[in-house]
Amino acid sequence: MVTLVLSLADALRCRFTISPLGELVQLSRAMAKPAAFAQGAHTAWLRKQSPALERLRRDHDLRPLLIAMSACSYFPDFLTPPTLSSVTDIEEELARVRATPEARAQSEIGYCLGRCGPVEPEVERQLRSRGLADCLAAQLEVLWEALVAPSWQQLRDVLERDVLYRSRFLARGGLASLFADLAPLVKLEERRLLVRQATDSTRVLDGSGLVLRPSAFIWPHAATMLDSSQPAMLVYPSRGIASLFWEPGNDDAALAGLIGPTRAQI
């Protein structure tokens, strides 16, 4: 459980952001760890994109990226650089990934490799080579063009509707109203925001505010980013993700796409 200790100033300084790179990273983690991400919109999205996935596997070596994403519960922080923009641009985000100092990139990938099983020597050599950040950014860009870019406007519309919905609740009822429908993943208990995660950590925000990032591809999980040099970030499941899989004339298709036809029928 991650605990964020909030002050009144933090409540007043909450802001929302939408990150195309963040969505792309969630998809790549689902590709890398299919057993851990067996249900949710990410799985349904990848299933829907199966022809594009087959072309990717045939035409590109994505092993370095997938190993970086699957080594342990942690993945390199430099792949999701913080932003102050309400909606970021994928080219801008990838440029910031490419600009990661070499020492930081190697330190974070070394942490991942130290906590995973055996890695093919060729892949480990690529991950420990200079220019790692540029290599992983290039692989993320390939995934973006194949899996997300063609439908980004639809994805962005879902995320923006969630931001509008929660902004109204925040203005009318404060933090308690904002987080009410996110339990048990996210719960507010007085000044403590409890986020259900595998790690145990506590951070006192102390007036620095909280960045809120809706994600179409994180359910049934939530996540926090606690880089001490930046305001804390909460990544939470967006509302309305079933609309991504809705098919005219079949009201059950969206639910079946998310949780499978058998569960949907039940």
Predicted pLDDT of residue 115 = 79
- pLDDT, tens digit, for every residue of 178-200? 898 999 999 999 889 999 988 88
Predicted pLDDT of residue 49 = 87
Beta strands 192-195 and 2-5 are antiparallel
Question: Nearest CA to 14 among 150, 139, 166, 147?
Answer: 166
Tokens of 175: 């933090």
Predicted pLDDT of residue 157 = 95
Contact 42, 27 (CB under 8 A): yes
Residue 248 has pLDDT above 70, yes or no: no
Q: Which of 27-36, 221-230, 247-256 has the lowest mean pLDDT?
A: 247-256
Contact 25, 140 (CB under 8 A): yes
Long-range contacts of 54-62 (CB under 8 A, 24+ apart): 55/146, 56/142, 56/143, 56/146, 56/147, 60/139, 60/142, 62/31, 62/139, 62/142, 62/143
Beta bridge partners of 194: 3, 187
Instruction: Determine the average pLDDT of the residues in 29-43.
Output: 83
3-state per-residue secondary structure call for 194-225: EECCCCCEEEECCCCCEEEEEECCCCCCCEEE
Tokens of 116: 């995973």
**214: phi then psi, degrees, rounded to nearest 5:** -70, 150
Tokens 């404060």 locate to: 174
Predicted pLDDT of residue 150 = 92
Residue 261 banded pLDDT, cuts 50, 70, 90 = low
Residue 266 has pLDDT above 60, yes or no: no
**% of the chain exceeding 90 in pLDDT:** 50
Q: What is the pTM of this model?
A: 0.85
Provide the 10 A C-beta neighbour count for residue 154.
Answer: 11
**10: phi then psi, degrees, rounded to nearest 5:** -65, -40
Whole-number mean pLDDT of the chain? 87
Residue 25 has pLDDT above 80, yes or no: yes
Residue 163 banded pLDDT, cuts 50, 70, 90 = very high
* CA gap 218, 28 in Å, rounded: 11
Instruction: Determine the average pLDDT of the residues in 203-225.
Output: 89
Q: Which residue has the higher pLDDT, 238 or 200?
A: 238
CA angle in degrees (0–180, nearest 5) for 177-178-180? 60
Q: Which residue has the higher pLDDT, 140 or 219?
A: 140
Contact 209, 15 (CB under 8 A): yes
- pLDDT, tens digit, for every residue of 84-136? 778 889 999 999 999 999 999 999 999 888 877 788 999 999 999 999 999 99
- Residue ranges covered by each domain of the chain: 2-16+153-265, 21-150
Task: Provide the 3-class DSSP secondary structure of residue 3.
Answer: strand
